[in-house]
A and B are shown apart, each in its own frame.
Chain A
């Protein structure tokens, strides 16, 4: 069948042209904005009223894509429990989107905003704090109206006693993120190997040099890795006050000089000579369990106890904090501006703030994340349940955990990260 014009060549040509056109149009097209999208957006603002039952009604049958860091088994298991609960109680499907880095979700929301996707966003609820919250707020990527203090379970918190509930890394939360848990940087060590761990930055430096290859920290921009750098700079600075104002108002080089001097001194003696770093704190914990390193760190004071209970850490592991105190903060749940299921996300946030969920979360056998609720505002039964929780063999007492350092202004985090990368990012 000799034929000059083959149908197949037309088909391929057509679809290739089509795909090129589609590609170009997609890159060039401005953000679409239609009237229908605005009307759906206004439906979401129902939640700002005081009647939460209407929010619960609207939430029925919705699916919440909960974007939360997914690097820790026990946290994942807790979220699975929560999703079973909200499914039963409110007919809400809670899907845990496990993030490697919360920045990826912020980036996705930003991309959606750039693409004009003002509704039906891919993220409904986001586990966030500090720099990522600041970025979300700065780019107007959060629900426009404050919603947190309308949550029925907000009554169990006491922002006067715990100012960090309304101040996330020196950034006012403005009712745009609901508190979920508390965190304080704690170090852990195996008493069988390291009976007397170094309890300040200078002692740590000499310890590292005396025990080469036995200390490391998670690779920045990991949250714990950067937090450790902030801990160091707060300890090493004679006057840490510039750290609590935006970095643009300070002489970055002068303020951070003590940190870089410390790192220059110590880096050659780090685990694998500072040419490789563990990805995050569970990886660090595993290295402690393997006895590859002497000291690990976590933002959850009960993390070591929980790991011991699961058999992942030696029973001789204990925790400590530095003499001058360590970084402490609160972590939150935020709802993006374009969430597909904002009502259901609020119901989930409210559920996660409930005494039942908070007490379960504080149980070191489950997760061990300290509650954001105020003991004195709880029902006697809930208070008793909270008090009855085991402390965990390696967890410090409440009294030891009162020595805290406030988080620096969030703008310092990316600045320190960039400088760290410039100095150590190539492994030389």
Chain B
């Protein structure tokens, strides 16, 4: 028994090392060493700050840094506030599970799809202006500046909001369900707080503590986003991460040294953003504590509350309208300004979409394999008991890919893949997807596994059931709701991965997301619209299959309904 456990632990440790530690170490080394000027294959052997100086001398780099930092902080702060407003308003308003079932599918929409939708909606010649022109605006041609004075930055912020508000809402609602919120608000109300004030001052601070990791992940992602900027760009200067990607595409190989320095700088920028966030956290918590101490009984007029909730919903509404605009574009070629709707519907684009279908297949393959492997690895780690022994170290190691900008890892990883001749191979593709899916899988599986009632397992053991059979017959079915969530989320995360797919694919393997971004940047509305719609196919199909299977398998168990994906 003990030997078997040790063997399992050894296997789990080895698997973790191979899947997480190896690529992370390779990626980080592959970024840091060239950034310091150490790349002997190119004859660069002098460790110095020259690459960093060279990168900092790129025209517009200061603007790029400020743009990234500003966009990231503003988008994260706004989506955080909006999600809390929604959680507070709706927790007392609609049955919780209905809200969650609406937002579940929303978070499965890839970032680049949202960006394509926002572009189609809010550009000067976008759908929104077309809808009201020329009747209300008098425009027979698109205005020189559209609804947003700066589409690249403001559009990017709106797109990020549309994507992150539902995510943070779901995470907060999940955290809320672990708290005795109703009792706390009841006590608050008996002390004279309004219901909302009780939620904001007494419940939400605890929720905040629970969602810090997802918030940090959102902040890091927003500071270093590439795919959305490419779709909504190219502005000048571009965000820092886009500048780094351009550096890696330079025909001059030595340009990779400053570009690596840029990737490193991007990592530093993420840390800076987290530090600024932390400072804000301290400040706001001091203010809130002061309020609570003084016993402020604020009462927000319900009107203001509704307006605030309305604003919080607006970005999601824009995202949704954008998706409809993308759907319309996928079925037309002739849709000239200022027509509110396409003049004619055509399936010609879809008939030519064979190239996109193969990219869709690649996404399915990479996502499916990586998701199944990630789930398997999580189960292995949890069952082996290695988690209990490693404690928080394991947790942080698995979550690193969430807290480092993707560009800081994948560029270094690509150098390594190039050397090992694995670039453009399926192995590299699945491996890198696995690395980025694993944190999400882990964050769902670990609590679910911890919440298992081990008495079932023990009873089965006493009647002589073997370990593997107990795992299959008892543990797996008990984990089924979590497993379903994990499989769905894994597929959704995988479809959305742009940079990792771009760098691991080495140009040879195109996923539907790399295609969508290329087509959107290339200006072909119909093709970009089709790619955006196909991006939604994977989460949708996964959702339907998993949901169907879950219903079929667990129909008889009344207690397990309402679990699964909601």
Report A's interface with B, CB cutoff 8 A: 1, 6-12, 14-16, 18-20, 22-24, 26-31, 65, 67, 70-73, 76-77, 80, 95-101, 103-108, 110-112, 114-115, 117, 120, 122, 132, 135, 193, 212-214, 219, 271-272, 274-280, 282-287, 289-292, 310-312, 314, 421-428
Contact = CB atoms under 8 A, between A and B. Distances in A.
B249 to A, nearest CB: 4
19 contacts: A6-B9, A8-B384, A11-B16, A15-B13, A16-B22, A23-B30, A27-B30, A27-B40, A30-B40, A65-B508, A97-B510, A107-B248, A107-B252, A275-B150, A275-B236, A311-B333, A312-B524, A312-B526, A427-B235
Contacts of A426: 59-60, 63, 236-237
A291 B348 CA distance: 24
Interface in B180-218: none
B307 interface: no
B33 interface: yes
Interface in B2-46: 2, 5-7, 9-10, 12-14, 16-18, 21-26, 29-30, 33-34, 38-42
B250 A103 contact: yes
A279 B518 CA distance: 10
Given A8-B389, A22-B26, A101-B249, A285 B523 contact: yes
Contact of B419 (A6, A26, A106): A26
B233 interface: yes
Nearest to A275: B236
A8 B233 CA distance: 47
Contacts, number: 249
A1 B59 contact: no
Contacts of A14: 14, 17
Given A6-B389, A23-B416, A282-B522, A276 B21 contact: no
Contacts of B144: 212-214, 271-272
Given A6-B389, A286-B525, 17 more contacts: A8-B12, A12-B390, A26-B415, A73-B524, A80-B354, A100-B249, A107-B249, A107-B250, A122-B508, A213-B144, A272-B145, A275-B150, A275-B235, A283-B523, A284-B523, A289-B336, A426-B63
Interface of B: 2, 5-7, 9-10, 12-14, 16-18, 21-26, 29-30, 33-34, 38-42, 58-60, 63, 123-125, 141-142, 144-145, 150-152, 233-237, 248-253, 333-334, 336-337, 344, 346, 348, 352, 354-355, 384, 386, 389-390, 415-416, 418-421, 423-424, 506-508, 510, 515, 518, 521-527
Nearest to A100: B518
A113 to B, nearest CB: 9
Contact of B13 (A9, A77, A115, A275): A9
B504 to A, nearest CB: 13
Contacts of A112: 418
Contacts of B59: 421-423, 425-426
Given A117-B421, A276-B151, A283-B523, A98 B518 contact: yes
Contact of A71 (B236, B507, B522, B525): B522
Contacts of B389: 6, 8
Contact of A425 (B25, B38, B60): B60
A11 B10 CA distance: 6
B13 A10 contact: yes
Nearest to A3: B6
